[in-house]
Structure 1
C-alpha cells in the first residue's frame, strides 16, 4: 500500500523533455520513406447511439448530439490510430508514466478506438479495464478483461466513489468544456492512494524561428481554434493541467513536457520520426476532420471554404522551411491516502 503523503511530499515535480530549441536538418532531402512509416463488447446502447449524424460527407456521433465536433467514421478512426502510435513514440513506447502498481480497476476516458485500453489490458491481465466514449467505434475482438461503454464523461458520473486504481485520459483538447469539473470527478472516483494521468496538447502551434508566421498553416489554426473557443471548448489544456490537479486536491503531482514537430525537418532522429507521424495523421484527412463541424456550425463557413483552407494548410505543412511545433504534456497525480 502506498504511504500517506506528508506535507513535504506534496510538491510538484516538473520535467521538461522539450529541447531548448529544435535544430533543423539542413541536409534534408524529400524522403518518401517517412510516409511509409506511417471480451466482449459491453455497452448500454440507447436507440439513438447508432443513429449517427451525417454532415458534409462525414459521420458524427448521435448520442449527446453536438457535444463533440470531430467525426467518428472510419477515416477518423484510422487517424486516431496514427495518433496512438505518435503518442507511443513520444513516450518511448510507454502507455503511461504514473508509478502505478498492480492496478485492479482502470478506466480510460474518451477511449476513441480503444487502442490504449486494449494495450493496457494486455500489459496488465489482472486488471479490469473500462473504456468509455460517446461513440461505440471500438473493436469487438478484444482481451477478456476489457469492456467498452457508451458514456459522456462531461456529465455527472454514475461511477461509485473510490472505485478505480488508475484513471487515464489522453487528447481531450477541443472536446471538453470544463476540465476542472472533469478532474474533480476523477478525484472522487479514484481510490485513496490511486493515480490519475492526463496526456494532452497545448493546442496553440508555434515556430522558434518565426517560420510559421503569416502562413496558411497559421491561418488554419487561428480560424479553427477560434471556432472551438467560440463553442466553449478548451483548446490548450496541456499547460493548465498541473493547476487543475492541484485545485482538485491531488498530491505528488508530476509534469513532463514534450515537443512534437510537424514534418520531417528536425535533424534529431527521434524528433524527425515524431514529425513524420504527426504529419501523417494530419494528412489523413485530419485537417478537414478537425475543422469541418467547428467552422460550419460555429463560424458559418461553407464546406467548400473549409476544404480550400485545409488544402492550403496541408500544402504549407509539407514545406521544409516551415518549422511548426506543438507542446505535449503528461501530468499525473495521486489522491492522498487519507
Structure 2
C-alpha cells in the first residue's frame, strides 16, 4: 500500500524544491494554477474511474485484471447482501476479536465500505480506513471514515503509523499471495493489537453426498478450477490458522461456521443463514462470479457461462440438495513485546 500511505500520511517537505525534481514551467501565470490543478486532478480521477466493461459487466481499471469479480451496481448489491449474511451468521457481530477502545482501524478490500461504516458507527472514537481497488463506496459516511484506492497485495508502509485492529473478510478468489497479506498485517498492527480474517473454504460439500453430480457442484468445480489455475487462493479458510502462526501471532482463536445453501436445514438459524446465502448467489452472483474467470482463462463464451450459471441456479432451488460451505473466523494478537 505504498501509494496509499503517501496520500494518507502528511509530511513536511524541506524548504525549496529538491534539485532532482524537475519543475514544470509550462504555466507561469499564477492565476491559471487553479484551473491547471483542477484539470490534472480530473485526469487522475478518471484513471481510477475508467472502468473496464466486458460481457455486460463492469470491472475495476486500477491494477486492471488483478480482481476478477465485477464492481457494478448488481455486484455492489450482492456484496451488501453478503454483509447481511455475515451479520446473521455471527449473531449481528461485526467481529469476534476482543478489541478494546480501538483508535485506528483498517478494513482490507472493503468493497462497498459497509463494514467500515458500521464499525465507525459503533466506535465513534476510532479512525476507520477502508481500502479497495474500486472507489465504489458512498460519499456520505460517518466523519471518522475515509476510503482509499489501493491494492493490498502491494507493499504496505503503515509500520510508522500502525493500527489497533486490522479486519478482512471474504478475500477468497480475490488475491494470490494471501500469506503476504497476513504478514503485512502483522507488521502493520501495534504490539498488543488484533488482526481478524473471516473467509471461506470455497468448495461446497454435503453430509449425504446430495450435491455430487449436480449443476451446483459442476459450477464450483469449473469456476474454482479457473481461479486456481490463475493462481488465486480459493480455500483460505482452512489455512488461516497456520498462516497466523507462521506470521508470529499469538492468542489465536479459530471459529468455524456452517453456511448452508438454501432453506433446507430444519434449524431456524441455519435456515435463515442459508436463505441469505442463496439470495446473494442468485442476485446475479453466479454470472458475476464466473464470467471473467472462465472467459479470460478458460476461453468460455459468455453464453456458455450463462448456461452454467442457469444450471447452478436451477439446482440451487432443489430441496433435496443439502449443500453447505465451511466458513472460518480467525483472529490473533501481535505480542506485546514484539
Residues 1:116 and 2:115 aligned together: yes
CA distance in 2, matches of 1:314, 1:119: 31
Describe the superposition over 1:276-306 as per-residue Cα deviations: whole angstroms up to 9, x where unpaired: 0000000100000000000000000000000
CA distance in 1, matches of 2:283, 2:192: 41
Aligned to 1:152: 151
**After superposition, where does 1:29-40 map in structure 2 within 5 Å?**
none
Query: Aligned pair count?
Result: 295
CA distance in 2, matches of 1:120, 1:216: 38
Aligned to 2:127: 128
Identify if the C-alpha distance between structure 1 residues 45 and 190 changes in structure 2 by more than 3 Å, giving closer, same or farther: farther
Query: Structure 1 residue 129: deviation in Å?
Result: 0.1
Give yes or no for contact 1:131–1:147 (8 Å, CA) kept in 2: yes
Other structure's SS at 1:240 match: helix
Query: Structure 1 residue 95: deviation in Å?
Result: 0.2
CA distance in 2, matches of 1:107, 1:92: 22
**After superposition, where does 1:1-338 map in structure 2 within 5 Å?**
46-161=45-160, 163-338=162-337
Aligned to 2:21: none
Give yes or no for contact 1:169–1:197 (8 Å, CA) kept in 2: yes
Other structure's SS at 2:47 match: coil
Describe the superposition over 1:248-295 as per-residue Cα deviations: whole angstroms up to 9, x where unpaired: 000000000000000001000000000100000001000000000000
CA distance in 1, matches of 2:198, 2:69: 19
Other structure's SS at 1:49 match: helix
Query: Structure 1 residue 48: deviation in Å?
Result: 1.6
Query: Structure 1 residue 159: deviation in Å?
Result: 2.2
Could you tell me which runs of 5 or more consecutive residues in structure 2 were left unpaired when the two chains were aligned.
1-42
Identify if the C-alpha distance between structure 1 residues 333 and 162 changes in structure 2 by more than 3 Å, giving closer, same or farther: farther
Other structure's SS at 2:74 match: helix
Describe the superposition over 1:179-237 as per-residue Cα deviations: whole angstroms up to 9, x where unpaired: 11110000000000000000000001001101001111100000000000011000010
Q: What's the RMSD between the two structures over aligned residues?
A: 1.0
CA distance in 2, matches of 1:277, 1:105: 31
Could you tell me which runs of 5 or more consecutive residues in structure 1 were left unpaired when the two chains were aligned.
1-43
Query: Structure 1 residue 105: deviation in Å?
Result: 0.2
Other structure's SS at 1:272 match: helix
The structure 1 segments of at least 4 consecutive aligned residues displaced by more than 2 Å after TM superposition are 44-47, 158-162
TM-score, structure 2 length as denominator?
0.86
Other structure's SS at 1:48 match: helix
Give yes or no for contact 1:161–1:188 (8 Å, CA) kept in 2: no
CA distance in 2, matches of 1:104, 1:265: 42
Identify if the C-alpha distance between structure 1 residues 251 and 162 changes in structure 2 by more than 3 Å, giving closer, same or farther: farther
Describe the superposition over 1:68-118 as per-residue Cα deviations: whole angstroms up to 9, x where unpaired: 000000000000000000000000000000000000000000000000000
CA distance in 2, matches of 1:221, 1:48: 34
Give yes or no for contact 1:175–1:233 (8 Å, CA) kept in 2: yes
CA distance in 1, matches of 2:208, 2:254: 26
Other structure's SS at 2:48 match: coil
> Larger Cα Rg: Structure 1 or Structure 2?
2
Identify if the C-alpha distance between structure 1 residues 265 and 45 changes in structure 2 by more than 3 Å, giving closer, same or farther: farther
CA distance in 2, matches of 1:91, 1:295: 32
Query: Structure 1 residue 162: deviation in Å?
Result: 5.5
CA distance in 1, matches of 2:164, 2:314: 45
Aligned to 2:15: none
CA distance in 2, matches of 1:178, 1:285: 27
CA distance in 2, matches of 1:105, 1:234: 28
Q: Give the structure with the larger helix fraction.
A: 2
